[in-house]
Chain A
Amino acid sequence: MAVSRRRGGRSRLIVALLVLTSLTLLTLDFRDSVLVRQARDAAGSVFSPLKGVGEAVSAPFSNAWRGITGFGDVQSENDRLRERVAELEGQEVLNAAAAQQMLELTAQLDLEWIGAIETVRARVVAGSASNFAETIDISKGSRDGIKVGMPVVNGAGLVGKVVQVNARRCTVQLITDPEFAVGIRFLNGVTGTARGQGRGKDLIVDTRLAPGGADVPEVGAAMTTSGIDKSVFPENIPVAKVKETKEAGGGLTLNLVVSPMADTEKLAFVTVLLWSSGL
């Protein structure tokens, strides 16, 4: 009996120590401790090759499975994409001329323009290992000039931002992640903050607009990053379109439900903007 009681006391002591250690780590992480950052960096360099090995081993099987289950879809999508590519090739010539003019004008006016930012193109190599973090891993890292905080886009718009970087790969937090927030602006100048709500869900924009006001954006209105002072993102990256409006704050303000421009569930390639906010 005495032995059992002593053992129970020891067990509880061990658990108490483990809980205390966890709480200490959480506190250190919350305070953005250098120690925690260094530990994550070191772990990242160890885990990165492990991920590579796992992907190399599993890729043939998962590709074969996708090929078997999605052959019909792939074929019809391929036809649609060919048509779209032909259409876009025509537009590209016009866009290139417009982009050149824009670059010259912004240079003259000493303004920043997104088309002038240096970029790195990367392949999406893995999804999130956790069911709670909406992230992707991409095939470029610090060797290519990528740093934590850099914006990630695709042809449609904002995809997310870099949250972890190793030498050869990095982790991108997607705009749908519940922890993601970005300052946005509509064409009519209305600003707000768009926040992720989780996988496959639309974003919510908090605004200070009054319901029924003249400046309430219409359904379908597009918004871009605001790029206001000390923003994490440069301005004018397309973010989302308004899907519906909802009253909030007891009917005093409006929240907008917005659909992201970029389809974060079907990403194959993304572009990292080598841009830092300087914070």
Chain B
Amino acid sequence: MRPSGSALVAARLSLVMVIALTFQLAIAPRIELFGVHGDLMLLIAIAAGLTAGPERGATIGFVVGLVYDLSLPMPLGLSALTFALMAYAVGYLQDSVLRAAWWIPVVTAAAASAFGVILYGVFATMVGQDLVSPSLLKVALVVAFLNALAAPVVVPVMRWATASGSGVRSRSVYR
């Protein structure tokens, strides 16, 4: 018996999330630029918005953020909130403005990553973590650059993971 479309999507997303989390926890801290490393989990959420649209993207972003939050000694719900909003915003823009060209997801990933880092810093400061400082801008720019490098791999992977396979085509990025 073949698994249903949504079960297959859930299985693929879980697999991608486990691999991404393993990379983020164990490998990303070793690949630094100016003392900052990329944020693959944020990129996964942004790619979910790009490939699955605002609604599903926001939900996937929320789950990815929640899993990431549970692995960090930071307030629970902070990444979930940021990632859900970023995925929704990217999905909304993708719906209304963006057209498929190879460079658009890369630029979107870079801009959304920088904005996502700043949004996280602002939310963290609102709950007493005091992260808004000049170094937040440095982190945002380096994460944007590193995530843009990873986007040509991550976006197609998320396109595969979020494709329902029931005749509904996923979003037209990297076609």
Contacts and interface: CB of A to CB of B under 8 A. Distances in A.
Given A39-B70, A43-B71, A131-B36, A29 B76 contact: yes
Interface of A: 10-11, 14-15, 18-19, 21-26, 28-30, 36, 39-40, 43-44, 47, 50-55, 57-58, 62, 126-133, 135, 163-164, 171, 173, 178-179, 198-200
Contacts, number: 135
Interface stretch (B2-10, B24-32, B153-161): B24-32
User: Do most interface residues of chain A lie in helix, strand or loop, or is the interface mixed?
Assistant: helix
B23 A132 contact: no
A272 B67 CA distance: 28
Contact of A131 (B62, B130, B143): B143
Given A22-B65, A26-B81, 5 more contacts: A11-B54, A40-B76, A129-B28, A131-B37, A135-B73
Contacts of B139: 131-132
Interface of B: 18, 21-30, 35-37, 39, 54-55, 58-59, 62, 65-78, 80-81, 84-85, 88, 92, 117, 120-121, 124, 127, 129-131, 133, 135, 139, 143
Contact of A29 (B36, B68, B77): B77
Contacts of A29: 75-77
Contacts of B29: 126-129
A178 B69 CA distance: 18
A58 B54 contact: no
Given A25-B80, A53-B22, A131-B36, A58 B58 contact: no
